[in-house]
Structure 1
C-alpha cells in the first residue's frame, strides 16, 4: 500500500479539468486500498466534500511538513498558479520523499513560466498528456527519464443514468443540439462558437446551441447579449446530473479551445458516444484524431461552423466518430488504465527510496 499526498490548489467556485484529474486519481487509488490525502485551498469546499465522500483525507496546505503525515510520495497537480507546485516540492524535500508533478495546464495560462519549469526540473517524475507537452519540457531541460506520458479518464459523477431525452424535454429542444461545456473564457473558444452559430443556422436553422459552465471573462454577459437568440441557451454552472444529461442529449460536442493540452470534456463526450469538434492547438492532433473520433479545424468561426455543419448534415459520420471515441476511451482512457500508469511509476519511485525492510 502506498501513501500518496496530492497537492492541488483548486478553482473554487468552478471545477476545472486538472482538479477533476486530481480528484479521480485520488478516488481510484483509494479504491485500490492505497492511503490518499489531499492538501487544497481552504476556499475549495466543493473539492473537500467530493474527496471526503470518496474516502480521501482532506486538509489545508500546511506551512511546513507535518512529521506525522509523512507520505511515500507527494503528487502535485496543475500549474496555472505556481504556489502549490512549489509548496509540493518543499513538502517533498522536507519529508525526503519523491515528488511527482502533473502540470495539466497549457503554458499559455501559466502565471509564472520559470517557476513551473523549475519545479518540473526538480521533480522525480513529470506526467505529460501529449508528446507535444513532452517536447516543451524536454526543451526546458527536464530529464527525459523523468517524463511519462499518460492520458486522463472521464469525470462523470452523476447520481443517475444520463437521460438525454429528459434534458431535451426540460429545455424544449427537438432539433439538432450542439453543446459547449466549460468555463466561458476566450481561450476556451465560447465566443467562436457563438459567432459560428449564425453560419450554422444558414444550413440548419433548427439547431440549438447549449452552453454550460461558469462565466469566467468579465464581459461574458455582454458577449451573450450581442448574440441573443432563442436558439442559444446559456445554463451557467450546472450540477453533475444536468451535465451528464446534456452530454447524452447533444448531437455534436464543440469546445474550440486554443490553450488546452487534453480537454477532459472531450473524454466525457466520447464516453457518451458523441463526436468532438475542436480547433487546432499544440498537440491537438494527438488528442482529437481528425476524421476518426472528431474534427479539427482552424480557430475561426467559419471553420468551426463548417465542421459543425458537416456533422449535423451526416448523422452516420457523427455516430461513427462518437463510437470510435467511446472505444478509445474504454481501451485507453478509463480511470483504471490511467491509474495503472501512475501506479507503475509510483512503485518504481517508492522502491528506489525504501529501506531494506521496505520502509522509508
Structure 2
C-alpha cells in the first residue's frame, strides 16, 4: 500500500514525535511506500504561532532514504495566509477564539489543498500525525480521494489539541490512534467518540552506548543525572538545574548533563555552569545520546507538559531509573515506586527526590529494571509498526470500513 503521511515537522527537525515517526516509517517501509508532506524541517528558525505564514518555501529533500515534500508557501500564499494571524490577537481571541481558528484553518486549506491533493493522488490511506491546518487539510483531501483518514493527534490536555475544533477533526477521522490507555481516556474525556479510538502506542529500538567513554570525555564526577529534551520552560530543565546546584552547595557530589536544543541565550547561560557540574551539550548525535543514557545513573524529565516521551523509553532500554513529572499522562505510563518516580515541577521537590535517589541507588535501580521489562513487552518499535500495518491492512481490505 501507499500511505500519505502528514506531519507538521520532520527530521532533521528535532523532537520525540519526529524521531518516532521516522523510525516507524523505517519499519513500515518493509510493506508500504510513502508520500510524506511536512510543514517544517528544522533547518530554518521556527516561529511558534506564526509558522503558517513564515514557514520555509516549498521544496523536496531526502533524509535517511525518505523523500519529504515541504508544503511551504509562496510569496502570494503568505499574503493569503495573513488571516491566520488574527487568532493570535488577544482582544479578538477573547471574543471569538474558536471562530477565528476555524477561519484560519479554512484559509490554510484553501492555500494548500490542491497541492496536497496532487501529492496524494495515488495513496490508499492518509495518516496525519498532526492536527491544526495540516490535519484539517489532510481530512478534506482524504474525503475528496475517498480514502480512509487516520490521525495520531499527540494531544496534550490543557495545552494543545484538545479544543472543540480539534475534537471536531478527530470525530471525522476513520480512526484515532492513542498512545496508551491514559491517552485513550483523555481523548474520550474531551469528547472523542470511543468507537473511533484504537490504542497502538509508540516505540523505540533498543539502544546501547559507551557510557565510560562519555564520562571520561566530559570529566563527569559522581552520579550522573541526565535530561534529554528541548530547553523550554514546561520541560522543567531550569528547576532541575536549580535542584542539582542546591545539592552540590550542600556538599553532595553529582553531575547533571542536558542534551537538546536551546535558544542562544539559554545555551550561553547553561554553558557557564560547567565548573559547577552542569554539562550542557546541546544537539548531539544519536550515538552520543546513547552514550549518555549508558553513562547516566538517573534519567530526569520533571515536565508538566508531556504525553508519551520516547526519552523515558530510551532510559528504560538501558534499565536506568527515571524521575518524571507528576502529570496524568506520565502517571498512566509510569507506575510510581515500581517503574519510576514522579515529581512536580518544583526545584525543592526535585531536590528532595534526587536526595532520595542518592541515598538508595540500589532501590531505584530495581525500578529501572522493571521499566526495562515494561519496554520489552509493550514499547518496541517492531511491535508498534506491526499494529500500524494491521490497521492499514484492515482499512485496505474493507474490514475496517466503519470507525472502530
TM-score, structure 1 as length reference: 0.86
- The answer on whether the counterparts of 1:312 and 1:318 sit within 8 Å (CA) in structure 2 is no
127 and 112 in structure 1: CA distance in 2 versus 1, 3 angstrom threshold: closer
Q: Is the 8 A contact 1:257 1:279 kept in 2?
A: yes
Range with bigger deviation, 290-299 or 66-75: 66-75
Residues 1:73 and 2:83 aligned together? no
192-201 vs 175-184, which moves further: 192-201
The list of structure 1 runs, each at least 4 consecutive aligned residues, that deviate by more than 6 angstroms after superposition, is: 225-228
RMSD, matched Cα = 2.8
Counterpart position of 2:248: 201
Aligned to 1:296: 342
Is 1:60 the counterpart of 2:70? The answer is yes
How far does the alpha carbon of each residue in 1:235-291 deviate from its partner, in whole angstroms, 9 at most, with x for none?
Answer: 111111111111111000001111101111000111111111012112321111111
- Matches of residues 1-360 of structure 1 in structure 2 within 5 Å? 2-10=1-9, 14-31=13-30, 33-41=31-39, 43-44=41-42, 49-50=62-63, 52-53=64-65, 56-61=66-71, 63-66=115-118, 69-79=121-131, 82-110=132-160, 113-154=163-204, 161-201=208-248, 205-216=252-263, 220-221=266-267, 224=270, 229-352=275-398
Deviations along 1:32-52, one digit per CA (max 9) or x if unpaired, are x222231123645699543x4
Match of 1:107, SS?
coil
- Equivalent-residue separation in structure 1 for 2:265 and 2:205 (angstroms): 28
Aligned to 2:139, the other structure's residue is in SS state helix
Partners of 1:48 and 1:38 in 2: CA distance: 11
Give the drift of 1:112.
8.3
Count matched residues.
344
Point out where structure 2 has 5 or more consecutive residues left out of the alignment.
45-59, 72-111
SS at the partner of 1:9?
strand
* 1:313-339 per-position Cα deviation (integer Å, ceiling 9, x unaligned): 222223211111111111110011111
Contact 2:338/2:370, CA 8 A, preserved across alignment: yes
Q: Work out the CA distance in 2 between the residues paired with 1:67 and 1:168.
A: 47
CA distance in 2, matches of 1:68, 1:16: 26
Contact 1:274 1:319 survives alignment (8 Å): yes
Shift of 1:295: 0.4
User: What is the alpha-carbon distance in structure 1 between the residues aligned to residue 152 and residue 359 of structure 2?
Assistant: 39
**Structure 1: runs of 5 or more not aligned:** 356-360
Q: For 1:238, what is the secondary structure of its paired residue?
A: coil
In structure 2, how many angstroms separate the alpha carbons of the residues matched to 1:329 and 1:136? 22
* Contact 2:205/2:380 (8 A) holds in 1: no
Tell whether the 8 Å contact from 2:202 to 2:379 is kept in structure 1 after alignment: yes
Larger Rg belongs to: 2
In 2, distance between residues paired with 1:319 and 1:112? 36
Q: Deviations over 1:209-256 (max 9, x none)?
A: 11110115x862576489675211111111111111111110000011
CA deviation after TM superposition for structure 1 residue 343, in Å? 2.3
> Match of 2:362, SS?
helix
Q: Partners of 1:96 and 1:348 in 2: how far apart? A: 16
The 8 Å contact of residues 231 and 262 in structure 2, kept in 1 or not, is answered as yes
Change (3 A) 1:354 1:329: closer
